[in-house]
Amino acid sequence: MQTVGQQLIIAAIPVLPALVFFLLALFGRLLRENAQYVAILGVTVSLVFSVFALLYVAGIIPGGTSIEFAVNWIDLGEGGSFSMGVYIDGLAAMMLVVVCFVSLMIQLYSGAFMDGDKRFAWYYAVLNLFTASMLGLVLAPNFIELYVFWELVGLCSYLLIGHWFEKPSARDAALKAFIVTRIGDAALFIAIIIFWAQTGTTSFEGISEAAQAGFIGSSLLTAAIVLVFVGAVGKSAQFPLHVWLPDAMEGPTPVSALIHAATMVAAGVYLVARTYDIFVQSEQAMLVVAYIGGFTALMAATMALVKKDIKRVVAYSTVSQLGYMMLGLGIGSYTAGVFHLYNHAFFKALLFLCAGSIIYAMDSYNLFEMGGLRHRMPITFWTMVIAGLSLAGIFPFSGFWSKDAIVASAYDEHYYVLFGMALITVFLTAFYIFRAIFLAFTGEPRTEGARAAVESPGIMVGPMVILAFLSVVSGWVGIPDGFGIPVKDYFAQLVVPSEFARETLGLEPHPFSLALATVSVAAALVGIGLAYALYIQRPERAGALSRRFSGLYSFLDQGWYFDALYGATFVRAARYLGRLARGFDREVLVGGLTGGVGRLVSGFGEFLRRLQTGGVQNYALFILLSVLIIGIIVGAQYAFLVFALIALATITAFAVGSRL
């Protein structure tokens, strides 16, 4: 159990950035460029508190292995209640630290990158809301709370991708990201409703226990799990909902780094990891996760091969790496999947910051307008090489440890198809990232911009160097025990699947296999070698190849024509529906109903207008007649009726007669 003070510290982790958001949203105009200091202060304190949570969960601060408390949020009386709470185990504590740390690095970096931006303070405000939402999502112990933050994350990504909304392409990209992820969100929501209806609870633990006790039929359970996974697919940009992520590159580059490393896309993988006890109860659902992940990894890697835009190369690599994580989770190597999420956060943030540094220096995204930047921007070059080696999975960089663990367990668990896919992806990954590095940094400068580029300022380079350091060493906390170095596998002790998950999956620990590691590193080295051969030794050969296989080239460049396919089917269908609705609205609703009511009233008014003669005696006549009629109705006595009718007739006759 924790003391109240400790609980307050935990609660402050997401609350502080949220507070910063409100501060900056309200007083951003006054603070202007000073907004960054407020933001950085907030997120630094959050980071310190997160480290506290990590130390607590790891047992270094005595207390227990998990932190759990909740308050009642919505009380439905007989219908149950929803709570807002906190659940921190090793997984959540690790995520808290990663999110805070990456967010801090990016906020430091943004100070220079976004300098002079019109909405500088607003940018920082949303950045902090983004961080706060992700932290809240990580802490959530139940689906409802998770869903709230899940949607907030989606909203923030929309705001940040569309930060430069004056550009039409940024607007479109923001909308695309929002709508595509929304498909996943809807699926997740349906899954939550199914769970709630079947078990009467929304907490992850409660649903898992209810499912074990057989409260949900097995096919319904599989359907619900797959729907949860569809939600994760939308957020984590997996096939077939991956199309938004490359377009999201329209946002400022530090935002891309944040989305790709810590906040947005990590949420999907985190959701699967968080609800792992539910996932393992359906074998089919686990297979879906594994195969979607494996396929996405391979598909996105091929798309990245030919991209000209440096940010898009890195973006597709994110899709591909997230595929790895899903693959790892799907085949049951939980720790390896989460470990890759953790390592990926550092080197992917670094890759984006390097790309941002180049863009800052020469204001171009196009790889073929760069070249020869190695001598002009040495720090960017070396940090990007480190990140590239880590991404490619070269020993002993951090990416090696997690990627090798996933690839090896695919082999050990006898998923040979997935193993093949993963191995090919290793090769492709090494090739495309070093293609980008070689194109940007080696050879002769291809444009004036590349010739004039200078190294970015210290406040941008600083975070890059820190992240480069972590890209090397972050994997060292998870060196497998069988490797032969007397270092404990700290990560595997911290992030462990539950006893139940291990029993259900029937996993047995596999010793570290030197042969598999050699194969995967060899595949990566071949990829780097091929990139070297094609882009440094004989640059003309790459062009010749692309001309020779122009069909394949444009197939890959257009992202397997997914955008065209969705454009021809879903987008067109939605447009048609929209036009239909607009027609119905204009013709039937506005033209028919609303206009009809208007015409009816004005026609009736036109008729009544004739009664308003302006002659005072006409009015008097109406008054008299009305009084008589009211008298008849109210009195309704026979004699009175006769008398009144006679009087009425007489007066009318007199009145009308004398007028004529």
Partner 1 sequence: MPPIPPQVQQIIDALTATPPLEGYLVVGAIMFAIGAWGALVRRNAVVVFMCVELMINAVNLTLVAFADYLPNAGGLGVSYAVLVIAIAAAEIAVGLAIVLAVFRTRRTVNVDEITSMRG
Q: Which residues sit at the interface with partner 1, rule CB under 8 A? A: 608-617, 620-621, 624, 647, 650-651, 654-655, 658-659
Name which of 218 and 650 has its Cβ closer to partner 1.
650
Give 72 or 613: the residue with its C-beta nearer to partner 1: 613
Q: Which is nearer to partner 1, 616 or 636 (CB)?
A: 616
11 vs 628, beta carbon nearer partner 1: 628
Q: Which is nearer to partner 1, 3 or 612 (CB)?
A: 612
Whichever of 25 and 628 has its CB closer to partner 1, that residue is 628
Smaller CB distance to partner 1: residue 547 or 609?
A: 609
Q: How far is the CB of 619 from partner 1 (least distance, A)?
A: 9
Q: Whole-angstrom Cα distance, residue 424 to residue 410?
A: 13
Minimal distance in Å, beta carbon 616 to partner 1? 5
Q: Least distance (Å) from partner 1 to the CB of residue 575?
A: 49
Instruction: Using the minimum distance from each CB to partner 1, give the nearer residue, 509 or 615.
Output: 615
Contact in structure between 220 and 198 (CB atoms under 8 Å): yes
**Burial (Cβ within 10 Å: 0-12, 13-18, ≥19) of residue 385:** middle
Compute the least distance from the CB of residue 641 to partner 1, in Å: 16
Contacts for 227 with CB less than 8 Å, ≥ 6 apart: 187, 188, 190, 191, 194
The whole-angstrom separation of Cα 130 and Cα 157 is 7
Residue 60 or 630 with smaller CB distance to partner 1:
630
d(CA 388, CA 368): 19
- Phi and psi angles of residue 3, each rounded to the nearest 5 degrees, phi first: -80, 165
Rounded CA separation 629/625 (Å): 6
CB 628 within 8 A of CB 647: yes
Shortest reach from residue 628's CB to partner 1, in Å: 10
Could you tell me the CA-to-CA distances from 549 to 184, 303, 606 in Å, in that order? 36, 15, 76
Q: Rg for the chain (alpha carbons), in Å? A: 33
CA gap 353, 421 in Å, rounded = 29
Which residues are 70's β-sheet partners?
85
Nearest approach, Cβ of residue 611 and partner 1 (Å): 7
Residues in Cβ contact with 294 at an 8 Å cutoff, skipping those fewer than 6 apart: 323, 327, 330, 410, 417, 418, 421, 422
Asked if residue 531 lies in contact with residue 430, where contact means CB atoms within 8 angstroms, the answer is yes
Chain position carrying tokens 């943030």: 349
CB-wise, 186 or 624, nearer to partner 1? 624
- CA-based nearest residue to 373, from 394, 358, 390, 353: 358
CB 281 within 8 A of CB 505: no
| Nearest distance, CB of residue 657 and partner 1, angstroms | 9
CB of 152 to partner 1, least distance (A): 58
For residue 378, say if its preceding peptide bond is cis, omega within 30 degrees of 0: no
DSSP codes joined into one string, 386-409: HHHHHHHT-TTSHHHHHHHHHHHH
Shortest distance (Å) from residue 638 CB to partner 1: 18
Distance of closest approach, residue 588 Cβ to partner 1, in angstroms:
33
